[in-house]
């Protein structure tokens, strides 16, 4: 079979920056289409009868036909041509001839324009066609109508045959058919017809003719078509429908790529994650747009390396420049619309990616040149017909969506700044009227239009506060932060600094100061929840300064002014709260000092945390506050500090004291009077928020888990979960679900752990809780590692570490490096494991965190054991080391074991080690003794580890203890007892789906049976 085609395989199609991804199913469907024809080709070649003498025109029953023509449908840039290029290269390597042709909008009136280049390439690709010129001169004479150059090669005596009117087309088609038959005599043929939406009528009809006549021959026709740009009366529409009934053609709709695939597609650009997320949002699954945007961002970051990554998108928006290739594609799509329709869509772009009919109608009617409703409907219908808009809904609730997010940006950028501001203000006024009786529902959209329209700050503050409160009540903390920040920047007491921080300014009046205090408190909490501890600390410190300034001013104010200010400051506070007077304000101050302490706690600076906790206690003592929720919160915080210091008994005492004080509080009143905003978290605490009870149960559960009391931990967690679900507190539900999943993970109840972790992850991603998301990732990584999926475990743990670095959580950075080291060790990557353990140990020592240091030392001991086994080339469970040690005694197996023993003894000497870490260390110490040949001490230690694991319900460590005991007893010659331990270990590992541990145990069991 010959290799030729009209173009070299390396030059088919375009060059691409990125590999083809996300199109596996589409490629497989194309392969099925092509390779069925290839088998037909091979059968034909083995036949004695030439193809041009076979009855290829004899058409079988339609229902028995296999389509040999496929049209790839989809929008511009979705990847239709790319798929055709990939298949062309693939089949060309298999010996096919590939013929390409492309239609152009400017040539859509030229008859047979689509086929001229294909016919020319078939004739010129190899010398055999020229030899056929003499033999089939009459056939080629008919083709000369389309290819005049053929007259130069035809015999001079040949002249066109006179034909009756109407026969010319039939004669031409038959000549083209004969040419294709001769071409496929030598090798199968792939004909690619790109951009069929611009093909002329004659070309479409010829396609149908050839597909029908060449059915069953070694030829495939592959077309691409932008269905949305196909004119309603284009001949291709009825033609495809008719051919589908004949089973001679099939269509394949090319769908947008998923976000995950888009991320893979642009991964080689190595852009920051925030930029990748932005590209995914704008591209909406279109690979061409995604690649062009990624290239644009990449070039911009190269030319301006000093620019922060998260500012790149803002810079590109200011420069109002989409990549030219994208702008050209969007302009081409818009050019088919009337001028009035384009103007309407430009106005609608101010409303975002979707809009309601009632809103665009009101905007057009209230414009400087009013447009009546019928005209608006006509223009919207025009956009719908062109595929620029889609609609959903019915009756009075019709929503329109732009075809592509980038089109919205393109249209918006084409408006002048003055025009944009005018349209935004008009939209804001209409929305204010629409949501007059339910302001909070439309506050977010109204705020956007007010800000972009340059409205007066007072209106912006009002609606931004409402939008922030609504988002906060829905646990949508990133959105709440955005609106609280907007409000804070526009209130009389705040402005934006170049560094991005907020700075207090002398407020115009007491009302502004009160509002600013409320906004700062809410903003600080939203920042802390998202892991932005440094900025949250600055916000809380600023709030304390504002409160101190206000207190100083109120001391010099008249009683009437003071009373008025207090009434405004207690937004949503109950009469009982106000009656508390100075005691209430002291508790607010104490809780604010506590919040500053929490920002230090999550940075693993427990000394500063304790200082701010004690500062809050001092405020309460000086004000004579005894008991109550503020003291409860401070006990709660003190318990966390003691927990991280490994003082579990003292931590539980403090947590129980917090629980007692919270339980003494009367239940919080449901609902707030009038239009009062929601209480801030601190004021909710002072009002008797039951969520604080749930938080304390969660803390007690975590402490119980640390000391190995897993059943008690689950009891506390389930109590917390019941309270939180009753009050629909998404964030805390997410945290407790993660805790429950972790306890099931400790107990090796993996099937029970997974649903809790998935629920937690779903909620954490919804509310934007980055620190919690990191914890869930780590738990999923541990789960994957326990069940033997080491690559997935590595991926999850790396993602968790990346988020921990983002939030600068030192405790988790230390702990998760230990978990990643265990995965590397299971993969045999001991050097990588050593690096991770070194990091974990360094971080733990820098924090002076005993639990972290102890956990890292246990991991280091296990690494030394693995290194000893690796150097001995023996099995980790069999004490068989070579008699002749290496020349360097420092790197001998016995030296590694000695170092492991020393490291583990140091770890086990810590009194404040968590139960699971201690049990791991005890088991590792027993293994060291076993490998050193001290089987009796190893047996005693392994039995002790087994009993402790049972006591603490650490099921997976129970199974590991059985495995080690089996090996020890084999070495002591107690085979039957050893077999029982192996069987018990296998039963647990299989029940817990721990595949890697099951395999290791089976290996040890098999070796024991062979002895």
CA angle, residues 857, 860, 862, in degrees to nearest 5? 115
- Alpha-carbon distance of 538 to 527, in angstroms, equals 10
- Alpha-carbon distance of 730 to 529, in angstroms, equals 13
Label residue 166 by pLDDT band (50, 70, 90). low
Per-residue confidence (pLDDT) for residue 394, from 0 to 100: 77
Domains of the chain, first to last: 24-54+97-189+198-219+227-235 (no CATH), 588-670+678-715 (1.25.40.10), 934-1011 (1.25.40)
Average the pLDDT over each of 8-22, 780-794, 945-959, 964-978 and give the range with the smallest value: 8-22
Inter-CA distances, 990 with 155, 207, 827, 1001, Å: 83, 61, 21, 11
- Higher local confidence (pLDDT), 59 or 422: 422
Which residue carries 């102890």 as its tokens?
Answer: 854
Q: How many residues does the chain have?
A: 1011
Label residue 170 by pLDDT band (50, 70, 90). confident
Q: Is the pLDDT of residue 49 over 70?
A: no
What does the pLDDT average to over 585-591?
93
What does the pLDDT average to over 934-945?
94
Q: Where are the alpha helices (DSSP H) in 768-892?
A: 770-786, 790-807, 810-826, 830-847, 850-872
Highest mean pLDDT among 63-67, 506-510, 678-682, 831-835: 831-835
Per-residue confidence (pLDDT) for residue 377, from 0 to 100: 92
Q: What is the pLDDT of residues 79-122, one digit of tens each?
A: 999 999 999 999 998 889 999 999 988 888 889 999 998 998 88
**Hey, is 496 helix, strand or coil?**
strand
- How does DSSP classify residue 63? G
- Mean pLDDT taken over the chain: 84
Residue by residue, DSSP assigns 164-199 as -TTHHHHHHHHHHHHHHHHHTTTS-EEEEEE-GGG-
Label residue 803 by pLDDT band (50, 70, 90). very high
Angle of helix 339-349 relative to helix 373-385, nearest 10 degrees, comes to: 90
Specify the DSSP element, H or E, that contains 400.
Answer: strand 397-402
492 φ, ψ (degrees, to nearest 5): -60, -20
Specify the DSSP element, H or E, that contains 592.
Answer: helix 582-601
What does the pLDDT average to over 453-464?
94
Cβ atoms of residues 217 and 35 within 8 Å: no
Cβ atoms of residues 538 and 504 within 8 Å: no
312 φ, ψ (degrees, to nearest 5): -65, -45
Per-residue confidence (pLDDT) for residue 158, from 0 to 100: 54
399 φ, ψ (degrees, to nearest 5): -110, 140
What does the pLDDT average to over 783-807?
94
**Hey, is 518 helix, strand or coil?**
helix
- Higher local confidence (pLDDT), 827 or 125: 827
- Higher local confidence (pLDDT), 919 or 503: 919
Per-residue confidence (pLDDT) for residue 891, from 0 to 100: 61
Q: What counts of helices (H) and strands (E) characterise the chain?
A: 45, 10
Strand partners, 402: 389
- Higher local confidence (pLDDT), 325 or 549: 325
Per-residue confidence (pLDDT) for residue 790, from 0 to 100: 95
Per-residue confidence (pLDDT) for residue 127, from 0 to 100: 57
Strands 354-356 and 502-504: unpaired
Per-residue confidence (pLDDT) for residue 561, from 0 to 100: 46
What does the pLDDT average to over 428-456?
93
Cβ atoms of residues 683 and 588 within 8 Å: yes
What does the pLDDT average to over 444-452?
95
CA angle, residues 604, 608, 614, in degrees to nearest 5? 130
What does the pLDDT average to over 680-685?
88
Per-residue confidence (pLDDT) for residue 567, from 0 to 100: 40
Per-residue confidence (pLDDT) for residue 6, from 0 to 100: 44
Which of 213, 227, 228 minimizes the C-alpha distance to 179? Answer: 213
**Which residues lie closer than 8 Å to 150 by C-beta, 6 or more apart?**
123, 133, 140, 141, 143, 144
Q: What is the pLDDT of residues 241-268, one digit of tens each?
A: 999 999 999 999 999 999 999 999 998 8
Q: What is the pLDDT of residues 738-775, one digit of tens each?
A: 999 999 999 999 999 999 999 999 999 988 899 999 99
Q: Is the pLDDT of residue 409 over 60?
A: yes
Average the pLDDT over each of 50-54, 490-494, 788-792, 947-951 and give the range with the smallest value: 50-54
Q: Is the pLDDT of residue 383 over 70?
A: yes
Per-residue confidence (pLDDT) for residue 768, from 0 to 100: 86
Q: Is the pLDDT of residue 564 over 50?
A: no
Q: Is the pLDDT of residue 140 over 80?
A: no
Average the pLDDT over each of 26-40, 820-834, 950-964 and give the range with the smallest value: 26-40
Which residue carries 């919040």 as its tokens?
Answer: 595
- Alpha-carbon distance of 590 to 520, in angstroms, equals 16
- Higher local confidence (pLDDT), 384 or 554: 384
Residue by residue, DSSP assigns 238-260 as HHHHHHHHHTS-EEEE-PPPPHH
């Amino acid at each position: 079979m010959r290799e030729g085609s009209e173009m070299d395989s390396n030059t088919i199609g375009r060059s691409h920056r990125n590999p083809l991804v996300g199109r596996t199913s589409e490629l497989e469907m194309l392969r099925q289409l092509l390779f069925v024809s290839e088998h037909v080709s091979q059968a034909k070649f083995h036949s004695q009868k030439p193809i041009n003498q076979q009855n290829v025109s004899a058409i079988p029953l339609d229902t028995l036909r296999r389509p040999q023509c496929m049209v790839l449908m989809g929008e511009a840039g979705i990847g239709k041509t790319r798929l055709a290029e990939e298949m062309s290269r693939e089949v060309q390597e298999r010996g096919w001839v590939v013929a390409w042709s492309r239609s152009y909008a400017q040539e859509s009136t030229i008859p047979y324009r689509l086929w001229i280049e294909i016919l020319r390439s078939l004739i010129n690709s190899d010398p055999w066609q020229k030899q056929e010129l003499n033999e089939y001169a009459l056939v080629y004479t008919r083709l000369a109508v389309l290819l005049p150059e053929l007259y130069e090669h035809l015999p001079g005596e040949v002249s066109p045959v006179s034909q009756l009117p109407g026969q010319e087309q039939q004669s031409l088609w038959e000549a083209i058919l004969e040419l294709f038959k001769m071409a496929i005599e030598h090798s199968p043929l792939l004909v690619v017809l790109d951009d069929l939406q611009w093909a002329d009528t004659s070309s479409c009809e010829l396609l149908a003719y050839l597909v029908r006549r060449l059915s069953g021959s070694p030829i495939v026709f592959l077309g691409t078509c932008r269905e949305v740009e196909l004119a309603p009366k284009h001949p291709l529409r009825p033609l495809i429908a008719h051919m589908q009934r004949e089973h001679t053609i099939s269509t394949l709709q090319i769908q947008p790529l998923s976000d995950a695939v888009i991320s893979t597609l642009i991964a080689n650009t190595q852009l920051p994650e925030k930029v990748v997320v932005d590209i995914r949002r704008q591209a909406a699954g279109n690979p061409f747009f995604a690649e062009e945007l990624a290239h644009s961002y990449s070039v911009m970051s190269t030319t301006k390396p000093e620019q922060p990554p998260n500012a790149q998108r803002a810079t590109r928006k200011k420069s109002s420049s989409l990549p030219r290739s994208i702008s050209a594609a969007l302009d081409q799509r818009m050019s088919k619309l009337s001028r009035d329709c384009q103007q309407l869509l430009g106005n609608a772009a101010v409303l975002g990616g979707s809009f309601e009919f009632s809103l665009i109608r009101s905007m057009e009617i209230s414009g400087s040149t009013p447009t009546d409703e019928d005209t608006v409907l006509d223009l919207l219908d025009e956009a719908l017909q062109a595929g620029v808009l889609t609609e959903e809904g019915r009756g009075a609730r019709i929503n329109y969506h732009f075809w592509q997010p980038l089109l919205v940006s393109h249209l918006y950028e084409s408006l002048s700044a003055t025009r944009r501001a005018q349209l935004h203000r008009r939209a804001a006024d209409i929305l204010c009227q629409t949501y007059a009786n339910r302001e909070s529902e439309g506050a977010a959209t109204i705020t956007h239009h007010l800000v972009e329209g340059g409205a007066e700050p007072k209106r912006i503050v009002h609606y931004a506060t409402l939008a922030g409160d609504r988002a906060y009540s829905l646990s949508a903390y990133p959105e709440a932060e955005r609106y609280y920040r907007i409000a804070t920047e526009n209130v009389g007491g705040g402005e934006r600094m170049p560094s991005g921080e907020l700075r207090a300014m002398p407020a115009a009046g007491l009302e502004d100061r009160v509002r600013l205090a409320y906004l700062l408190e809410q903003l600080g909490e939203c920042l802390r929840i998202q892991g932005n501890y440094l900025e949250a600390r600055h916000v809380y410190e600023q709030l304390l300064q504002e409160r101190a300034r206000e207190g100083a001013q109120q001391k010099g104010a008249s009683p009437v002014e003071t009373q008025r200010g207090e009434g405004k400051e207690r937004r949503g506070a109950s009469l009982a709260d106000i009656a508390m007077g100075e005691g209430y304000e002291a508790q607010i101050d104490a809780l604010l000092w506590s919040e500053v302490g929490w920002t230090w706690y999550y940075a693993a600076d427990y000394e500063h945390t304790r200082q701010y906790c004690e500062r809050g206690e001092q405020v309460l003592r000086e004000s004579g506050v005894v008991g109550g929720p503020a003291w409860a919160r401070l006990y709660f915080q003190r318990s966390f500090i003691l927990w991280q210091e490994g003082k579990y008994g003292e931590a539980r005492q403090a947590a129980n004291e917090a629980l007692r004080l919270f339980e003494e509080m009367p239940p919080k009143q449901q609902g707030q009077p009038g239009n009062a905003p929601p209480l801030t978290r601190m004021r909710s605490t002072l009002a008797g928020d039951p969520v604080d009870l749930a938080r304390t149960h969660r803390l007690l559960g975590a402490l119980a888990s640390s000391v190995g009391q897993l059943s008690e931990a689950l009891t506390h967690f389930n109590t917390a979960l019941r309270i939180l679900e009753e009050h629909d507190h998404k964030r805390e539900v997410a945290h407790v679900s993660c805790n429950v999943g972790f306890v099931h993970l400790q107990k090796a109840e993996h099937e029970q752990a997974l649903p809790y972790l998935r629920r937690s992850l779903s909620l954490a991603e919804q509310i934007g809780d980055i620190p919690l998301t990191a914890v869930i990732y780590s738990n999923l990584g541990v789960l994957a590692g326990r069940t033997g999926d080491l690559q997935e475990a590595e991926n999850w743990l790396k993602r968790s570490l990346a988020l921990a670095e983002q939030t600068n959580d030192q405790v988790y950075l230390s702990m998760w490096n230990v978990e990643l080291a265990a995965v590397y060790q299971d993969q045999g990557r001991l050097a990588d494991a050593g690096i991770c353990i070194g990091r974990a140990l360094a971080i733990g020592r820098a924090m002076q965190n005993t639990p972290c240091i102890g956990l890292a030392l246990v991991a280091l001991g296990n690494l030394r054991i693995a290194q000893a086994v690796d150097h001995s080339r023996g099995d980790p469970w069999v004490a068989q080391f070579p008699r002749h040690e290496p020349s360097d005694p420092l790197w001998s197996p016995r030296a590694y074991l000695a170092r492991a023993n020393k490291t583990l003894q140091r770890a086990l000497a810590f009194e404040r080690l968590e139960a699971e870490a201690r049990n791991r260390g005890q088991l590792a110490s027993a293994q060291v003794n076993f490998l050193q040949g001290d089987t009796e001490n190893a047996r005693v230690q392994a039995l002790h580890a087994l009993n402790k694991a049972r006591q603490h319900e650490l099921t997976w460590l129970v199974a590991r203890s059985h495995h080690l005991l089996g090996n020890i007893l084999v070495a002591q010659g107690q085979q039957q007892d050893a077999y029982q331990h192996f069987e018990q270990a296998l039963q647990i590992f299989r029940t817990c789906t721990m595949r890697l541990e099951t395999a290791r145990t089976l290996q040890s069991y098999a070796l024991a049976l062979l002895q």
